[in-house]
Amino acid sequence: MHLLPALTSLSVLLGGLSLVDAAETAGEHPSVKTGSRVAGWISDSMYPVCYGTPIVLHLSESIRDRASARQAVNAQLLATGLTEALKSLTDEPRPRRPECDRGFPSGHASAVWALATVLAHNYPEHEEVAYSYAVAMTWARRATRWHTWAQSLAGSLLGWACARVELNQSDGLFLHVSKPLPEDGEPASFRGNDPLAALDCGTALLEFRLSF
C-alpha cells in the first residue's frame, strides 16, 4: 500500500472529526445538518456495495477480477466474524440507541475497510477511490451517531487488518484463491468456471451475516 493515499485519507478523516465535534460543541446536532443526510446515504450504501461488488467482479472474465471477488469475500467474512464476536464480548452501547449493546466495533466500517483494502491492493490505480470511500464510511457511522469515534475507528482498523491477513495467504481463508499465474499478467486465479458460482460471493456474505 502506498503511503500517500493512506496519509491523505487520514488527513480527511481527522478534518471530519474536528468539524463534527465542533458542530456538536456549538449545540448543532448532526441530525439537523445537511451533512447528516449525506452521512446517512453513505452509511446506507454499505450493503449494496459490500455485497454487490464481489458479485460484479465474479461475473467478469478477468482473472484478477474473479480472484479479487473471492479475496474480498474472505476478508469480509473474517472481519464480520470478529466484529460480531467483539460486539458480544464488549456490550458497548450505541450513541444513538443506548439500549442497544452492540456498538463496538462498527460492523459497517470493518466490512467496508476489508473490501477497500483488497480493492486498493489489487487495483492500485483506484486505491484513492477505495480508501476515500472507506474513510467516508468511518466518518458516516459517527456522524449518524450509530457509533462513537472509538467504535468507528476500531471497526476500520479491524477491517483493514483482516484484509491484510487474507492478502498474505497463499490460498484464500475460506473461498479458494490460487497462487498468481505469471503468464496471465494478473495477480491471482481460482479453480472452477461454473457460471452459477458467480452468486457464491454474495450469498456467502449474506448467509454469514444472517447467521448472527
DSSP output for 110-165: HHHHHHHHHHHHH-GGGHHHHHHHHHHHHHHHHHTTSS-HHHHHHHHHHHHHHHHH
Cell of 110: 470493518
Whole-model pTM above 0.85? no
What is the average per-residue pLDDT within 66-73? 93
Across 19-28, 37-46, 79-88, 112-121, least confident range: 19-28
Q: How high is the pLDDT of residue 182?
A: 39
Comparing CA positions, the residue from 106, 101, 87 lying closest to residue 150 is 106
Q: Does residue 38 carry a pLDDT above 60?
A: yes
Q: How high is the pLDDT of residue 8?
A: 52
CA distance linking residue 205 with residue 126, whole number of Å? 24
Domain ranges of the chain: 3-12+47-210
Q: Which tens digits make up the pLDDT trace of 164-192?
A: 999 999 888 888 885 553 344 444 433 33
Q: How high is the pLDDT of residue 206?
A: 54
Quick one: pLDDT band at residue 155, thresholds 50, 70, 90? very high
Selected residue with higher pLDDT from 1 and 85 = 85
Count each helix (H run) and each strand (E run) in the chain, helices first: 8, 0
